[in-house]
Amino acid sequence: MFLRNCWYVAGWSHHFPEGGLVARTILGDPIVFYRKGDGGIVALEDRCCHRHAPLSRGRIEGDDLRCMYHGLKFSASGKCIEIPQQDIIPSTAVVRSYPVVEQDCWVWIWMGDPARADDAVIPRALNHNDPDWFMLTGELTYEANYELINDNLLDLSHLSYVHQSTLGRNSMSWGESRPRTTAIDRGVRIERWVVNHPRPYYLKLPAGSLSDMWASYDYVVPGVFLLATKSYPLGAAAQSSMRAPRAEPDWVSSTSQAVTPISEDKTVYFYSSCLSRRLASEEHAREQMAVIERAFSEDRAMIEAQQQIIASTRQSRMLQLASDGALNRFRRLMAGLIAAEQETNPTLSVEAAHAVA
């Protein structure tokens, strides 16, 4: 089950080059993307209304798209504007068009009722395209349901286990930290001090160089993770009485990540790694991304294995722990939004607003 009335990340801006047709499946819908002459991105149902050929095998003509099976031409709004074999164009000659916004190097697509699309609710990514920060980007596809990935990101105690030698830095500091979770608009905020945390290996500091790290992130609907970390000399956590620090950190990093379902059992995941140019070098930025990419393959191996166990064994209740507080809260939030959407417009989740087009 998916939340439809919501913005999803369809990809990085650089995935959508001028003159290119890009096919993506999002929430089970086949979608074709292309850029208009002014650079604006169009997203249309990737299924011609004639014989259901994919429009991604078509041809861009100005701001329009021609199906290269029998030649129907569609405007950026999805309306058919030319049928080479006849003069009359029926009003049903239309494919669905989706609202799209390009913001913070991400291409966001609204998957529900276009009349309800509101750009103002798109979360702002951290430090994307900021000249004062290094920014590296990546993408990963999981053979798993999106909820398992949300769960993973909502409980970072796994860093000390799944990522023991990568993000966990061979320390129990993440695993033993106690986060504070609060509700925010359309999401949760999770904050914690990670005390006695080893400094990144690539800083080449003497062995045993530790810091106190403040890690704070917002996790917002439908699965957008916005994490900033700030490191301080040891003792900073106690000096702040385990509250948010006010002092200038000696190391900062951020990452923004987005979980986008392809189908019920396949998900794509987009992520950035950002380091402040004031404190870090380009080499540090590359090394940090290398660690993140190793860590994300560890996540993928664990989550895909978890998905297989869940799919192949009888359903039973999962044990609830204190550390599941944030993920349970987010699951309830999503379930409530999906239920409310189903109540008001049950057709949205099925043949998604083909009717809307």
Interface contacts to ligand FES, rule CB under 6 A: 48, 50-51, 53, 67, 69-72
* Residue facing Fe ion at closest CB distance: 299
We find the least distance from the C-beta atom of residue 68 to ligand FES, in angstroms, to be 8
Q: How far is the CB of 51 from ligand FES (least distance, A)?
A: 4
For the CB of residue 83, give the shortest distance to ligand FES in the complex, in Å: 8
Gap between the Cα atoms of 4 and 10, Å rounded: 14
Smaller CB distance to ligand FES: residue 66 or 163? 66
Q: Which of Fe ion, ligand FES, none lies near 126, with the C-beta cut-off 5 to 8 A by kind?
A: none
- Amino acid making up residue 105: C
* Choice between 97 and 288, CB closer to Fe ion: 288
Tokens of 94: 């239309």
57 touches, from Fe ion, ligand FES, none (C-beta below 5 to 8 Å by class): none
The phi and psi torsions of 15 (rounded to 5 degrees) equal: -75, -10
C-beta closer to Fe ion: residue 45 or 299: 299
What's phi and psi for 220, nearest 5 deg?
-120, 155
Instruction: Report which secondary-structure segment, H or E, holds 139.
Output: strand 133-142
Question: If DSSP codes are grouped into helix, strand and coil, which group holds residue 320?
Answer: coil
Give the range of 6-14, 40-48, 52-60, 293-301 binding Fe ion by CB under 5 A.
Answer: 293-301
DSSP string, 98-161: E-EEEETTEEEEE-S-GGG--GGGSPPPSSTT-TTEEEEEEEEEESS-HHHHHHHHT-GGGGGT
299 binds, among Fe ion, ligand FES, none (CB under 5 to 8 A by kind): Fe ion
316: left (phi over 0), alpha (psi -120 to 50) or beta: beta
- Render 209-223 in DSSP notation, one character per residue: -EEEEEEEEEEETTT
Interface stretch with Fe ion, choices 52-60, 110-118, 133-141, 296-304 (CB under 5 A): 296-304
Which of ligand FES, Fe ion, none interacts with 262 (beta carbon under 5 to 8 A by kind)? none
CB of 353 to ligand FES, least distance (A): 20
Per CB under 5 A, which region of 83-91, 100-108, 211-219, 292-300 contacts Fe ion? 292-300
CB of 158 to Fe ion, least distance (A): 6
50 versus 180: smaller Cβ distance to ligand FES: 50
User: Closest approach of Cβ 286 to Fe ion, in Å?
Assistant: 20
161 CB-near residues (< 8 Å, 6+ apart): 168, 175
Q: Does 299 bind Fe ion (CB under 5 A)?
A: yes
Contact (Cβ atoms closer than 8 angstroms) between residue 144 and residue 265: yes
Query: Considering beta carbons, is residue 104 or 299 the nearer one to Fe ion?
Result: 299
* Alpha helices per DSSP H over the chain: 146-153, 173-176, 236-239, 282-312, 325-344
- Between 86 and 316, whose beta carbon lies closer to ligand FES? 86
Alpha-helical regions (H) of 140-281? 146-153, 173-176, 236-239
- Site residues for Fe ion per CB under 5 A: 299
